Structure 1
Amino acid sequence: MRRQATTFPVKDYNLAATLSSGQAFRWQWREPNWVGVIGAHWVRLRSDTISITAEAAEPVSDWGWLTEYLQTDSDLSGVLRTFPDDEPMRAAVVACHGLRLLRQDPWECLASFILSSTKQIVQIQQIVALLCERYGQPLAVAPGQPPAYAFPTPGRLARVTEAELRACKMGFRAPYLLATASLIAGGQFELARLGQLPVETARAELMKLPGVGRKIADCVLLFAYGFQSAFPVDVWVLKALRRLYFPRKHVSLGSLHHFAASHFGPWAGYAQQYLFHYIRTKTGEGR
């Protein structure tokens, strides 16, 4: 049956924390809803303690794309039980209760994090929005809503110039995005196969792409492919690890990666997102 809106039950799902925690950059809060784009779908979401209601612009026969993206079937309580029983992790879980990891499209995730280097979340959102407006496919939206656009394909971006990309305010990231789009559009790099590789091999493959270092590769492995041993370390996670776990020591980045791999358990990537959101929004460090 095709429906334009649907409601599905959830337990311990913090939609606001999930959509604003720096995993994805297509969401805007327009009270009382979150409005965004997933693939070729404009969607409006609202939640309460037991459900999420979604509204599309056109009737939908299968909402699987949304539940997969939101990961509504994941066993959060089971994930949280694997976290280390230490004070920083307990505080992060309490402060960010119900935060989930999304499962994103690999190309959009990769491109977005290439654009994220040295930028704050609001700036990344602005760059991505401008890129989509200029080069993405227009989408149907609900009456009275602003225009919305799909994320541009690698083939579309491979046909634009570096100067045109720089006009989207992405600066030095433009040649990296252009080169990566060209490799993928030309079939020289296949994103689909990464999910079948061991995480170390998939990381090494991603780091061959222009502008992709360990942190961006780990973001893509975690947010697009669900590799839970991927533990992205950006300036916020670096601050969290040093302040919360090594407050009076100078610890190298390599040592922190080793610590994360051994300390946070089989769902280390999930633990990373709790630490990231906690240190950025709940401790005063982000102000």
Structure 2
Amino acid sequence: MIIKAPIDLELTQVSGQTSQPPWKYIDDSYSDLVCIDGEPSIFNVKQTDEYVDFTYTGNVSEKTAIENVKKIYDLDFDLDKFYKYLDSYDELKDMSKFCNGLRLFQAKDPFECIISSICSANNSIKRWTKSIDDMKLKWGRNFNDYYSFPNPSNFKELYLDDDEELLNEGNIKNNNLKSCGVGYRAPYMRKASDIFTLEIDLSDIYKMSYDEAFETILEVPGVGPKVADCILLYGFGFRQAFPSDVWIKRIVSYLYFDGKDIKVEKVREFGMDEFGDYAGYVQLYMFHYARMSGLMDKLKK
């Protein structure tokens, strides 16, 4: 079925959003396992002209499947209205040309997004996505060679490293978090699974205000403001989040502050105040505009 919402599916998939790794690319189609109320379904999406061509398998209704694929690819977001917003500002008006069709790639599993976002800190897209895929292969449930992400209660039982695995099992089978290449982040991940098993219900975050949700996510060890905003934007749909790191700082400084050195926390505040409910989208477009237009290379010098 064709869902008539313009999108650049490839750009959305490979844009490094920390909701999840890119889906499997097979025969011009992106595919992954989506669990809906415990029911496994394989979603397949491909580009047909400027729209999504969507099929699925599994014991879920067509209405429910469509609602979920629309949520994952944010297909109800009005890109044309957003582009008119960008075009009304000199600093932003070229972004839609370089990033046309880019949409939020939202989490099909918010816990996977939390672990992905923790894993992405000081890491390359290639490395963190491989780590998440390795976790799914090792500890996820297999449905026709597609793997779910382990849930928080299962995740908190995982060994941290070779030493812990050797102590408990008497041998090493690379069945521990560090074997997935997460390094120093392993204890943070296991603590996150403890928190979201014993202290916080993930579903409650959707009901919180942005400020309450932000403070809640900051309670997870290893999560700073940038990672917290990634989790809220890609995992829970808080579009007013403006994830800010050194690159967003340089881009914002170049576009708005004549290249002056400003603190990352001030950049975050500026982005949220200036762009409001478009902040998350503007941040996403800023980064990819800088990367694709050559601005990022200029800012490296």
Query: TM-score with structure 1 length normalisation?
Result: 0.87
Return the alpha-carbon distance in structure 1 between the equivalents of residues 146 and 292 of structure 2: 28
Query: Structure 1 residue 256: deviation in Å?
Result: 1.3
The question of whether the paired residues in 1 share the 8 Å contact of 2:87 and 2:94 is answered with no
Contact 1:68 1:103 in 2 (8 A): yes
SS of 2:183's partner is: helix
- Let me know the Cα RMSD of the aligned residues: 2.2
Query: Match for residue 143 of structure 1?
Result: none
Q: Deviations over 1:77-129 (max 9, x none)?
A: 22333447333411111110111113323211111101111111111110001
Aligned-residue offset at 1:137: 0.5
In structure 2, which of residues 191, 199, 214 is the aligned counterpart of residue 203 of structure 1?
214
Q: Which residue of 1 aligns with 2:3?
A: 9
Letter in 2 for 1:172: Y
Match of 1:155 in 2: 153
Contact 1:12–1:97 (CA<8 Å) still a contact in 2?
Answer: no
Work out the CA distance in 2 between the residues paired with 1:175 and 1:153: 16
One-letter code aligned to 1:77: D
* Residue 3 (structure 1) aligns with: none
Which residue in 2 is equivalent to 1:67?
70
Higher relative contact order (CA 8 A, sep 6+): 1
Distance 1:274 1:240 in 2: 11
The answer to whether residue 189 in structure 2 is matched with residue 177 in structure 1 is yes
Count of residues paired in the alignment: 274
What is the rounded CA distance, in whole Å, between the counterparts of 2:200 and 2:291 in structure 1?
34
Matched, 1:124 2:128: yes
| TM-score of the two chains, using structure 2 as the length reference | 0.83
> What percentage of residue pairs aligned between the two structures are identical?
26
Q: Which residue of 1 aligns with 2:43?
A: 43
For residue 230 of structure 2, give the secondary structure of its aligned residue in structure 1: helix
Segments of 5+ residues of structure 2 without an aligned counterpart are: 162-175
- The counterpart of 2:99, out of the listed 78, 96, 101, is 96
Question: Where does residue 261 of structure 2 map in the other structure?
Answer: 250
Closer, same or farther in 2 for the Cα pair 1:239/1:42, shift >3 Å? farther
In the aligned structure 1, how far is the partner of 2:187 from the partner of 2:4? 42
- State the Cα distance separating 1:31 from its structure 2 match: 5.2
Change (3 A) 1:38 1:281: farther
1:223-270 deviation per Cα after TM superposition (whole angstroms, max 9, x unaligned):
122212110113332232233333431112232123212222431111
- Higher mean displacement: 248-257 or 73-82: 73-82
Higher helix share: 2
